[in-house]
Structure 1
Amino acid sequence: MNKIVKVHPGDDVIVALTDLEAGEEVELDGETYTLTEAIPAKHKFAAHTFAPGEEIHMYGVLVGKAQSEIRRGSWLTTFNTKHAATPLAVRESRYDWTPPDVSKYAQATFKGFQRSDGSVGTANYWLVVPLVFCENRNVGILKEALTRALGYEVATPYQHKVEKILAMLQSGQDDLLLGEEMPLVTKTKPVSPVFPNVDGIKFITHQMGCGGTRQDARALCGLLAGYITHPNVAGATVLSLGCQNAEETTLREEIEKRAPGFDRPVHILNHQTLGNEEQVMDLALKQTLLGLKEANRCERTEVPLSKLCVGLECGGSDGFSGISANPTLGYFSDMLVALGGKVILSEFPELCGVEQNLADRCVDRPTAEHFAHLMATYSQRATAAGSGFDMNPSPGNIKDGLITDAIKSAGAAKKGGTSPVVDVVDYPGKATKPGLTLLCTPGNDVESTTAEVGAGATVVLFTTGLGTPTGNPIAPIVKVASNTRLYNKMNDIMDFDTGAIIEGRESIAAAGERLLNYVISVASGETSVKAVLNQQDDFIPWKRGVSL
């Protein structure tokens, strides 16, 4: 295994692949570097001496400037390096792309649920969702009534632990308690004996719908419409109080906008019109069970890979993410685009510093200008709020080597591969064109993942170097580890390991093909990802406005 790597020939920083000691000599491409101090794995050291104010490059782009002199072989930290990025200028350009060879996948298929509008789901769920937070309790009542009766309830694997601990306490074995081995029961995905072709009923709650701006209410309705019309959803039960900003008519308008002539069942129940809780629950239960009976008639069939729509996400990133996991997603993305599928790249704060590359890849000038406008507007809003894209890296990111937003962004953007940008969509829009779509979302993991699924992603690939349990109610979230240590340490939430790239045992192309095969298995319902097994159903709408 190599100890160090230079990611791009034009870089003037070197990445440590393992912990390096002060005074240690390391060699790369015929050059020897003597380290002036210890360099932790995942962090960077200077390939030459930087003068104060001198530009620093990684991934072939500007990622920072030296705040003070940084000697050759010295550690780049937040104390001697500050964020810097090249300003975006929309320009006339022609982007030539050479897609990867995907001939061996030309006839490949996955088993999906075909919908009448031509879309294909990787799952078959019924959705229960409120238009306003006032109805969250009633959503909970429906969940309690339906999941157990239909066989979708999963007993917590910790129940037997509680019982065993209590027994030990009652028998006076307190001193033996902490040394007792208590393995968990292996989790499996529940299959309803009543509706075996329905993967489950998903109950979504949120804290929006009223008290905010009309724009936020409209955006919420757009997001919910994205979930209701999603290929992974067979139908929906919607609870409305009746007086909220997120009106029923607005939801219907957003549904029609995304899916003209939408024909899957959507039952909207107005609490104030129907009367008391019992009347609402009675009708909701009857309509939902009738809908489930209909949804159960849909079965998986073989469909081409061009019917896949995959979201690209990252969270809890580390200094290896941009070297192993994210480039693997990039190769996968290029393969899927070459096969006629869709991929969605979001998290606009994490595109800061690579805007020029993405703008130059846009299929036409209006698309590039739309991207530049959304980036500039978002950045201005962040600055007005007393923050900025330069404050994006989290403490965990910084601790593991991502010390400027541009370093984090340049690595994060690798998830989008090299294909042309066919469309740029603002939140909470929908990806409609085959190819790579840029979706304006925050860098927040759950808000961004929520938006990608609302935009049509039927599977989301989520890279991480530190570990995160993030999931989604209706789409499988595949956790891709940037390093094998994380994959083994947190195997209860990790699905796919790219650590062999760091260790020099696998190429990015090989890992990308392995990931495509894995996604086919997930999309076909043959492999259940950990977030699904753990019932990690995270859902957070993006609130742009203020509370009123």
Structure 2
Amino acid sequence: MKQRLLKVHPADNVLVALTDLQAGEVVSFEGKNYTLVDFIPAKHKFVTTDMKAGDEIIMYGVLVGKAQSDIPTGGWISTKNVKHAAHGFNSEAHQHEWHKPDVSKWQDRTFMGFHRPDGSVGTGNYWLVIPMVFCENRNVEVLQESLVKPLGYGRKKAYESKAQHLINKVRGGISVDEILYTEVGDGHDEEAAPKVFPNVDGIKFLTHEGGCGGTRQDAQALCGLLAGYVTHSNVAGATILSLGCQNAQVSMLQEEIAKRDPNFAKPLYIIDQQKTGKESDVLDNALRQTLAGLIQANENTRQPAPLSKITIGLECGGSDGFSGISANPAIGYTSDLLVALGGSVILAEFPELCGVEQNLIDRCVDSGKAERFSSLMRTYAQRAEEAGSGFDMNPSPGNIKDGLITDAIKSAGAAKKAGTSPVADVLDYPEKVTKPGLTLLCTPGNDVESTTAEVASGANVVLFTTGLGTPTGNPITPVIKLSSNTALYNRMSDIIDLNTGTIIEGDETIQQAGERILDYVIKVASGEVKVSAVTHGQDDFIPWKRGVSL
């Protein structure tokens, strides 16, 4: 019989239900019997001792909430009887000893990547078209319509043919009632034309709503983010469209590029509309220069590179009560393996580190890193409170429904993505990763804003865990989706790449799953496997304006 209960940490006073448990049922764990007072849905928790109002709820070995009313042994914890609570933290780090995992079987492994002049290695080879301000979005969209399909990067999607089938019905005079129930036809994707540039994975258009009208700090942050994409290892070069008068000036972008790559040597074409004049001249120049850039980008080919050139962004979205005990610890072990191999990993989403700050501070390699992380966390929390919110409001309705009833429970599970390695660096948005090892990056908890930022900081692969199902992707970096449970993997197999529900079912250990994930990462980095987000063209890109975003 498979395990039905889990205690995450020896100090915990709650047990996790791995399957639905009925009220009145007697369940056993580690030689002790519990009579369940309530129905306990899978992924939720019940207390293992009588609780009085004000008593601490401990999970993952840390404070994750306080009882708001008496809860008997075997009672279900929910938002009705438990409120968020977390231990405080200070900047003083305690000694952290890391036991590196055995990486001997990966020591001589390589991946096939695109080598750049700055020494970085990309897992893809893209050309970018970027507006400096939202006023240029329309011109960018015209270029997108003009270039994507003729270059062999677009194809007629199944829903276009399905829509045409229904439109033909409308032309034939179908009624409102009839069209609501008519079959939509057997749509199918049409193959794209052969690629004009076979070594270029795609041309991506990063439209956004920024660049002007906000603060100068907004403009600076946007330019830093865009510079992160221009200098990214997965990017061969870029076409930049500027109106001319916006806050986000081209000179600001160039300064940010120089910060990240002082010897920047990629092709970069800049067009100023107000200097150029007619829109037709702007677009003509953009077409010519973009094609010139693509000719140069096509000269790049995949060559062997050590695994130390991989930088993984760690992300979770649509989390459930299993995320912190299956998918997140699994990629945490993958993170430790990569760090031991000399690679880099990025842990972001600062609102989802509430309650585990001291653990991360204790892992910092020096007091300066600990101080910076502490300061960034306190500042972010303070701004959230000033806006009438707080980290305690981070869990979404979907999170709560699936067992993540407090931010501290969600955070303690989310932090498992970072494994156990030392914190090598702490960065503020949108700074770039420069050190091997684990880096903490200040971003919001919003999935797309955070993923967008991690890629700008250098992630050339993203591991994205989900318990509810999230289709997030990125224009230039493959986002590998991992389900925390098998039911989700089976239900949404079109957007999920890997399943870690095997851990819940007892078919695989966290370490085995972590090793399997690293092997998959190497295949994705080499271009051998296309992840679902890339196949679906899920090119999510949302810059963060440094306001309060949980």
* Code of the aligned partner of 2:125: N
Report deviation, 1:86: 0.6
Residues 22-50 of structure 1: CA distance to partner in whole angstroms, max 9, x if unpaired? 10111111111111010111111111111
* Alpha-carbon shift at residue 217 of structure 1 (Å): 0.4
What corresponds to 2:24 in structure 1? 23
* Alignment counterpart, residue 394 of structure 1, candidates 385, 393, 396: 396
Secondary structure of 2:425's partner? strand
Distance 2:321 2:271 in 1: 49
How many Å separate the matches in 2 of 1:119 and 1:130?
25
Give 1:183 deviation, angstroms. 5.5
Alpha-carbon distance, 1:93 to partner: 2.1
Distance 2:84 2:194 in 1: 52
Structure-1 separation of matches of 2:327 and 2:484: 5
For 1:122 and 1:344, how far apart are their aligned partners in 2?
16
Aligned to 1:221: 223
The range that moved more, 253-262 or 168-177, is 168-177
Runs of 5+ in structure 1 lacking a partner?
Answer: none
8 Å Cα contact 1:165/1:177 also seen in 2: no
Q: Distance in 1 between matches of 2:116 and 2:503?
A: 39
Relative to the length of structure 2, the TM-score reads: 0.96
**CA shift at 1:266, angstroms?**
1.1
Asked if structure 1 preserves the Cα contact closer than 8 Å seen for 2:156 and 2:189, the reply is no
Q: What amino acid is aligned across from residue 137 of structure 1 in structure 2?
A: R
Number of aligned residues: 545
TM-score by length of 1: 0.97
The residue type equivalent to 2:220 in the other structure is R
CA pair 476-184 structure 1, distance change in 2 beyond 3 A: farther
SS of 1:250's partner is helix
Q: Is the 8 A contact 1:465 1:482 kept in 2?
A: yes
Q: Deviations over 1:194-231 (max 9, x none)?
A: 10000010001100000101011000000000000000
Amino acid at match of 1:45: F
1:3 corresponds to 2:41 = no
What is the match of residue 211 of structure 1?
Answer: 213
Cα displacement (A) at 1:2: 1.2
Q: Once the 2 structures are TM-superposed, how far is the Cα of residue 160 of structure 1 from its aligned partner?
A: 2.4
Aligned letter for 2:76?
A: W
CA distance in structure 2 between the aligned counterparts of 1:238 and 1:125, rounded to whole angstroms: 14
CA distance in 2, matches of 1:116, 1:320: 42
Of stretches 322-331 and 24-33 in structure 1, the one that deviates more from structure 2 is 24-33
C-alpha separation in 2, matches of 1:341 and 1:191: 37
Q: Is the 8 A contact 1:341 1:434 kept in 2?
A: yes
CA distance in 1, matches of 2:341, 2:93: 28
Deviation digits for residues 325-382 of structure 1 (CA, Å, limit 9, x no counterpart) = 0001100000000000000000000000000000000000110010000000000000
Provide Cα deviations, 1:41-74, integer angstroms capped at 9, x if missing partner.
Answer: 1111111111110111101111000001111101
Deviations 1:484-515 (A, max 9, x none): 11111111111110011111111111111110
SS in structure 1 of the partner of residue 254 of structure 2 = helix
Name the stretch that deviates more: 397-406 or 484-493: 484-493
How far residue 184 of structure 1 moved from its aligned partner, in angstroms, is 5.4
Within 2, Cα distance between the matches of 1:266 and 1:25? 68
1:520 pairs with 497, 501, 522, which one? 522
Separation in structure 1 between the aligned mates of residue 34 and residue 431 of structure 2, nearest angstrom: 49
What is residue 185 of structure 1 aligned with on the other side? 188
Q: How far did residue 285 of structure 1 move?
A: 0.8
C-alpha contact 1:421 1:438 (8 A) present in aligned 2? yes
- Equivalent in the alignment of 2:359: 357
1:148-547 aligned at under 5 Å gives the runs: 148-166=149-167, 170=172, 178=181, 180=183, 185=188, 192-544=194-546
Q: Take 1:191 and 1:297, find their aligned partners in 2: how far apart are those partners?
A: 20
CA distance in 2, matches of 1:185, 1:345: 39
Tell me how far apart the structure 2 counterparts of residues 413 and 289 of structure 1 sit (CA, whole Å). 44
The alpha carbon displacement at 1:152 in A equals: 1.0
Q: Which residue of 1 aligns with 2:129?
A: 128
1:15 alignment partner, SS class:
strand
2:271 alignment partner, SS class: strand
- After superposing the two structures, state which structure 1 stretch, 302-311 or 87-96, moved more: 87-96
Give ranges in structure 2 of 5+ residues lacking alignment.
none
Q: Post-superposition shift, 1:193?
A: 2.5
Whole-angstrom distance in 1 between the partners of 2:73 and 2:136? 61
- Alpha-carbon contact 2:343-2:437 (below 8 Å) kept: yes
Mapped contact 1:213–1:545 kept (Cα < 8 A): no
User: d(CA) in 1 for partners of 2:120 and 2:190?
Assistant: 31
Q: 1:163 to 1:211 in 2, by over 3 A?
A: closer
Structure 2 distance, partners of 1:417, 1:218, is 33
> CA separation in 2, counterparts of 1:489 and 1:392?
26
Q: Do the aligned residues in 1 keep the contact of 2:151 with 2:193 (CA within 8 Å)?
A: no
Counterparts of 2:179 and 2:163, CA distance in 1: 15
Cα offset for 1:156?
1.6
Aligned-residue CA RMSD (Å) = 1.7
How many angstroms apart in 1 are the aligned matches of 2:542 and 2:190? 26
Q: Is contact 2:241–2:273 with CA below 8 Å preserved after alignment?
A: yes
Partner deviation per Cα, 1:279-324 (whole Å, 9 max, x = no partner): 1011111111011001101000111101100000000000000010
Q: For the Cα contact (< 8 Å) 1:192–1:198, is it kept in 2? A: no
1:261 Cα offset (Å): 1.0
- Alpha-carbon separation, structure 1, partners of 2:535 and 2:93: 48
Could you tell me how far 1:157 is from its partner in structure 2?
1.3
Q: Specify the code of the residue in structure 1 equivalent to 2:204.
A: K
Once the two structures are TM-superposed, the CA of residue 163 in structure 1 deviates from its matched residue by 3.4
Give yes or no for contact 2:155–2:189 (8 Å, CA) kept in 1: no
TM superposition shift of 1:116: 1.1
CA distance in 1, matches of 2:190, 2:439: 35
Letter in 1 for 2:24: G
